[in-house]
Amino acid sequence: MTEKSQGSVVICGLPASGKTTFLAALWYVVFDKRDLNARLSFETLTGLDHSHLNAIMRRWLEAKEQIHTEVASGKIVSMNLKDGAGRKVQMTFPDLSGESFQEMWETRECDQKLAELLRGCDGILMFVNADKIKRPIGVAETTQYAEKLEDDEAKAVATEEWHPKLAPTAVKLVEMLQMFRCQALQARATRLAVVLSAWDKVEEENVTPEQYLASELPLLDQYLRNGSDRWDVRVYGLSAQGGDYESEKVKDDEERNEKVAEIRALDDASERIRLFTPEFSRDLTEPIAWLTA
């Protein structure tokens, strides 16, 4: 009898970075699709509660946006998987709200449960929405832009007090990773997979995920390459949906609705998935297999 080992990957990222969508698509690839070529494959449902995974997978299959994960409703999900050599592994992932990670930057506090997961995990999967990267813009650039607009209203606005939530994306992400290494958390994992989600929005720029990271998040790129916190990094581009999904908030966007219909009409739902390693793949278990190898 093959003994089952335990694996744990912490999925982190700021709000709306695609964490839940990834889990939904991963569960589809593993459980529904049963892709025989995947690095990790389904073993059994026995002994685990799959209600959350099944619920988010259903929304993914229906091409409906995932419901925002509230801080208090964060779930820890597990899958019984096996690798190419037949070794069984029970893989655990937290599906936590992005606010849990944002709060680490803003309030300098970490949820106890998250801290335990970080200390015990084998690898870290960090999601960054490639289409929603907030870069720093100087006053001079903003003023020049406003002058071009010749918009008096744009020029005459009240000044805004500083709040940590205003920080650029790269600052929040670098600090998040530094915090994982701090004395209070001491995350032991060394492997870090940076997943640039919503890759379909930037794919036409024809750059590799590494190049995109270096160009859009230079601070994070420098921090990771210079290795002061000993991260072993891989950068992925991922489109786990294939485009925008049906949204409760945006109902009258005809172009979007047409795109959603196209996605639903695909013969095989796995065709929505585009992973770049940088080579093209549809195997969402690849980053998990690497993180836990």
Partner 1 sequence: MAETAEVQCSNPACKVRIDGRCVEGLEKSKCPHYGKPLAAPASAGPVQAERNGIILPSGDLLDQQEASQLLRRGNSRVIAVVAPKEAGKTTLIASVFELFLRGPIGPFEFAGSRTMYAFERSCHPSRGVSRNARPETERTLLTTVKFYHAVLRSAGGDMLDLVVADRNGEDYRSAPDDTDVVREFVEIQRADTITFLIDGQQLADPVMRNTVGADMLAIAQALIDGGGIEGRPRVALVLTKFDDIARSTDADRASRDFEKIVGKFRTLHAERFGEIRSFEVAACPSDTSLPLGHGVADLLAYWEETAPVAVPKAASHVSSTTRFMYRLQGLPE
Residues that bind partner 1 in the complex, under the rule CB under 8 A: 104-105, 107-112, 115, 135-144, 155, 157-162, 164, 166-168, 170-171, 174-175, 178-179, 182-185, 218-219, 222-223, 225-229
Of 48 and 115, the one with the shorter C-beta distance to partner 1 is 115
Q: Minimum Å distance from CB 222 to partner 1?
A: 4
User: Least separation, in Å, of the C-beta of 232 and partner 1?
Assistant: 16
Q: Name the one residue in this structure whose structure tokens are 């509660």.
A: 49
CB of 35 vs partner 1, minimal distance in Å:
39
Q: From the CB of 3, what's the least distance to partner 1, in Å?
A: 33
Q: Which residues contact 106 (CB under 8 A, 6 or more apart)?
A: 164, 165
Distance between CA 8 and CA 29 in Å, rounded? 18
Q: What gap in Å lies between CA 244 and CA 184, rounded to an integer?
A: 39
In whole angstroms, how close is the CB of 196 to partner 1 at the nearest point? 18
Q: Which residue type sits at 215?
A: S
Instruction: Tell me which residue of 58, 55, 26 sits closest to 42, measured CA to CA.
Output: 26
248 CB-side CA count, 13 A: 5
What is d(CA 178, CA 89) in angstroms, rounded to the nearest whole number? 29
Q: Which is nearer to partner 1, 58 or 113 (CB)?
A: 113
Find the shortest distance in angstroms from Cβ 142 to partner 1: 3
Taking the least distance from each CB to partner 1, the nearer of 36 and 72 is 72
Q: Are 97 and 9 in contact (CB under 8 A)?
A: no
Helix (H) or strand (E) holding 120: helix 112-120
In angstroms, what CA-CA distances link 69 with 13, 50, 105? 12, 17, 19
* Cβ closest to partner 1, residue 36 vs residue 158: 158
Report in angstroms how near the CB of residue 213 gets to partner 1 at its nearest.
12
Which residues, including other chains, have CB under 8 Å from residue 188's CB and lie 6 or more apart? 119, 120, 121
C-beta closer to partner 1: residue 41 or 169? 169
Residue whose CB is less far from partner 1, 55 or 115:
115
Of 174 and 194, nearer to partner 1 (C-beta) is: 174
> From CA 245, how far away is CA 70, in angstroms rounded?
20
Measured CA to CA, the distance from residue 49 to residue 122 in angstroms comes to 22
For partner 1, the closer CB: 111 or 286? 111
Minimum CB separation of residue 270 from partner 1 in Å reads 38
Strands 280-281 and 88-95: unpaired
Distance CA 170, CA 138 (A): 16
